[in-house]
Structure 1
Amino acid sequence: MEELYEFIGVGAGVFNLSLAALLEDKGHSNYVFLDKKSQFSWHGDMMLPKTEMQTDPIKDIVTPVEPTNRFSFLNYLQERGILYQFFNRKGHATTRKQFSEYLKWAANGIKSIQYSVDVTSINYEDNQFFVETDKGRYLRSKHLVLGCGIKLKFPACAEPKNISSYHHSAAHMKYKKKYDGRKVAIIGGGQSGAEIFYDIISNDQPESISWFSGRSHIAPLEDSCFSNEIYTPEYIAKFYTLPAEKKEKLNREFLYTSDGVTQSLSDAIYNELFENKYFLGVDTNYNVKVSSRLIEVEELNEGYKIFVKCQLTSEVSEYIVDDLIFATGYTTRYQSLLSNVSANHSELNEPEICEDYSINWRHSATNKIYVQNGAKHTHGVSDPNISLAAWRASVIANSLFGEELFKMSREALINF
């Protein structure tokens, strides 16, 4: 028996969770979110001890557009009975673990999410989408909201099809081991690479560990008041109107507002290296190498030989390592879910994203496909960030139901 819905949300990660939380008490019920995981999880294999959020927890999945929503971070603290204790903390950012527990709490209170349901194919016919799942269910819907996550990104010279046994930072806790006496290399100079480097030098005693960054320095997170103004609806509205080449330039210019290393972590790493080298007399081979780009990986019987090019001198150095960890980011994956639909609709192969986060395709007037975390090239560097998750979800909700369920704020202190 086929089930018919107004829309189906594919995936229930943090961004579709935001949409589900905002809609839960709005009187609309003919929709469903499907997720292949057995329960909600958020960066579960990157949950290093005491790692801090780069985003203010008040910018949660609902508060920026509906502060009185029952799924707010503050209401979570209140229901746990720890709101005043949270206020009493001094000088401490919210940890990723704390925010993850909040998200789990919110997910457990939302009725529209169905877990352990894997969407295996999506087809389009007769002005509706046909969604098939691994359990033999067939669902129909007028619209789709794709929040199906991201896929791991590796350098071209180190695609997983070529190398079998290294791992990505996203799975660090899954593959984490004791690195005592081992030679370790970390590729990637952003926050994830920094967190893994600090975790290993703080808790293990590797024979050597090298942290390679293609950047010219360990770039700090730009977190000033003025930098954060680009994480506002007003900036996104202005950014959306710009030509593609200017958008690309601005995204490069503002990269470190989301992809830099937090000041507290950068300081902690520096102080750890300083203390070890100059005061504890620890004979370590801990190296931070900037302007260094991985150009080749050779898999050995045990470990790897890696070739790294200095971007200042063009000199190529070789390293033999036991463990190779990539902290090289992510790319979007929603296009793969649309492969059956795009076979007859070529415009979906390189989709144009509209201002309401829907894909511009020939059936947009009647059947919309919304994309969560797939519009960085059209809406700006903030797209993968939690800061504007609630606002984007409210834009999608208003568009889905053709009414202003949520008021759109457009204030800014900078004239863009």
Structure 2
Amino acid sequence: MCSDLSPLVDVVGIGFGPSNLGLAIAIEEHNLTAGPQQTVTAKFFEKKDAFGWHSGMLLPGTTMQVSFLKDLATQRNARSEYTFLNYLTERGRLTHFINRQDFFPLRAEFHDYLCWAADRVRVPVEYSTDVTAVHWDGDHFEVVSDSGVVRARNLVLGGGLRAKLPAGITPGPRVFHNHRMLRHFADLPSRLNGRYAVIGAGQSAAEVAAYLHDETGADVHAVFAKYGYTPADDSPYANRIFDPEAVDEYFAAEDGWRERLLHYHRSTNYSAVDPELIQDLYQREYTEHVDGHRRLFVHGATELLDIVESGDSVRIRVAHRLTGTETELDCDAVVFATGFEPTPLSDMLGDLAESCGEDRHGRPVLDRLYRVQTTDDITGQIFVQGNSEHTHGLTSTLLSNVAVRSGEIVRALAEDRPLVAAGAAPNGFADITGEAAVGRDGHR
């Protein structure tokens, strides 16, 4: 399967979302100043045809919930050419953005920033390429993909998050997760009932409810178990939970305190909505009460009991848990804004995942530098990006710490770098100290 002629790199990245894009940028910038003994060679694989980040959730007018300064580079290197401010400069919008007097970019704008960065990074990336197997040969990892085999001293797993549906829910043309909302909505086979339901109490659920209310003229039913939408906590003290220093403190803490902190500060990230959006939805519902033309219905303290999809509709039965009142609704679609979960190691590593340590909840056992505990026979490092909330805190799956985490991983890779002859680049791969020998990526 693999021979000594197969390319050898210091690190292969599986997946190329924002986290591994941030890592590629950190590798490029590290190599521009590193000595020949410390340069890091890398290659990334991405199964999508091009870079994309939650493109099905780019609803019109929605904004980020994280400051533009928490971009791919600023907190690691404020002079980087990959900062959001440099992106705005190149797009000719810096002054206009300043005049907004707002820390939070449009979501579509930040997506464009990420694509802009992915287009210009010089570390090799192969799109439209699925990694089909990963093996340890005793000295290196063998990464098998559609395009061949690459040997790597280390791996970085950036599989991202996958959509989570409640147990027993089967997706279909009219029943879907909000992750690909725009595509599924456009592909609805028909719209005969004039009614939609949105299941969930978080920011995405509220945004979908507002979008459907704006775009369709249909009735929109928001269904969730809370009594009402909970405001997201983005106050300065609570936001310290996302600081780089908080990762050190959280990792060093006892398990009991970790759980308490997650519980205390869930409203910074989970099942919480921007106060402005809550006010907007309430104003809509109140106005409809006044004029007598109801289209927006918010069902708090309510749970889904049953769902049946047919050719031209999907029927749901919901119950208000405080009164016991049940309601049946025939809908054109039911959108589940029910969150995400990390991609399991086994989805990226296959059988090699059996050599990785797990805790009693099936989560990877990690050290402070995001390295997975492995069996003694595996001497290469496996880093995880994103599946580390249980050890590193709430910032793990968010953009907040991408720049800093990328720098930490690069330092670990550079320190583990074997000695090579000055100027050498193994098997034709660029060391990214100048122009890349393999171009910016394999497909664009």
Q: Which amino acid aligns with 2:336?
A: F
Q: Which amino acid aligns with 1:201?
A: H
CA positional deviation for 1:330: 0.8
CA positional deviation for 1:393: 1.4
Q: Which has the higher contact order (CA 8 A, sep 6+)?
A: 2
Structure 2 SS opposite 1:158: coil
Question: 1:227 is matched with which residue?
Answer: 238
Question: 1:129 is matched with which residue?
Answer: 141
Check 1:380–1:316 CA distance in 2 against 1; reply closer, same or farther (3 A cut). farther
Moved more, 173-182 or 263-272: 173-182
Where does 1:10-409 land on structure 2 (aligned, <5 Å)? 10-27=14-31, 28-90=39-101, 93-112=104-123, 113-135=125-147, 137-160=148-171, 165-177=174-186, 181-206=193-218, 208-259=219-270, 260-278=272-290, 281=291, 283-313=293-323, 316-335=326-345, 336-343=347-354, 347=358, 350-363=363-376, 366-402=379-415
Q: Which amino acid aligns with 2:284?
A: E
Question: 1:412 is matched with which residue?
Answer: none
CA contact (8 A) 2:198 2:221 kept: yes
Q: Which amino acid aligns with 2:61?
A: K
Residues 76-117 of structure 1: CA distance to partner in whole angstroms, max 9, x if unpaired? 112223212221224584100111111111111112122222
CA positional deviation for 1:350: 4.3
Task: List gaps (5 residues or longer) in structure 2.
Answer: 32-38, 417-444
CA contact (8 A) 2:356 2:372 kept: no
Instruction: Report the TM-score, using the length of structure 1 for normalisation.
Output: 0.89
Q: Which amino acid aligns with 2:337?
A: A
Residues 36-72 of structure 1: CA distance to partner in whole angstroms, max 9, x if unpaired? 1222111111111110110011110110111011100
CA contact (8 A) 1:11 1:148 kept: yes
Q: Which amino acid aligns with 2:341?
A: T
CA contact (8 A) 2:63 2:107 kept: yes
CA contact (8 A) 2:386 2:397 kept: yes
Distance 1:315 1:338 in 2: 48
Check 1:62–1:84 CA distance in 2 against 1; reply closer, same or farther (3 A cut). same
Moved more, 92-101 or 57-66: 92-101
Check 1:235–1:180 CA distance in 2 against 1; reply closer, same or farther (3 A cut). farther
Distance 1:231 1:357 in 2: 16
Distance 1:354 1:288 in 2: 44
Q: Which amino acid aligns with 2:259?
A: E
Check 1:234–1:91 CA distance in 2 against 1; reply closer, same or farther (3 A cut). closer
CA positional deviation for 1:164: 6.4
CA contact (8 A) 1:60 1:387 kept: yes
Distance 1:301 1:107 in 2: 41
Check 1:144–1:318 CA distance in 2 against 1; reply closer, same or farther (3 A cut). same
CA contact (8 A) 2:355 2:374 kept: no
Residues 302-351 of structure 1: CA distance to partner in whole angstroms, max 9, x if unpaired? 32232334344555544332311110111111421122203455759642
Distance 1:38 1:234 in 2: 36
Distance 2:8 2:240 in 1: 41
Check 1:209–1:377 CA distance in 2 against 1; reply closer, same or farther (3 A cut). same
CA contact (8 A) 2:175 2:314 kept: no
Corresponding pairs, count: 398
Residues 125-144 of structure 1: CA distance to partner in whole angstroms, max 9, x if unpaired? 21321111123x11111111
Question: 1:7 is matched with which residue?
Answer: 11
Distance 2:249 2:377 in 1: 23
Check 1:63–1:365 CA distance in 2 against 1; reply closer, same or farther (3 A cut). farther
Distance 1:395 1:180 in 2: 54
Distance 1:67 1:345 in 2: 36
Structure 2 SS opposite 1:26: helix
Q: RMSD of aligned C-alpha atoms?
A: 2.4
Distance 1:173 1:301 in 2: 20
Distance 1:399 1:91 in 2: 36
Moved more, 15-24 or 346-355: 346-355
Moved more, 171-180 or 219-228: 171-180
Aligned residues with identical type, % of pairs = 28
Distance 1:253 1:196 in 2: 27
CA contact (8 A) 2:356 2:364 kept: no
CA contact (8 A) 2:14 2:348 kept: no
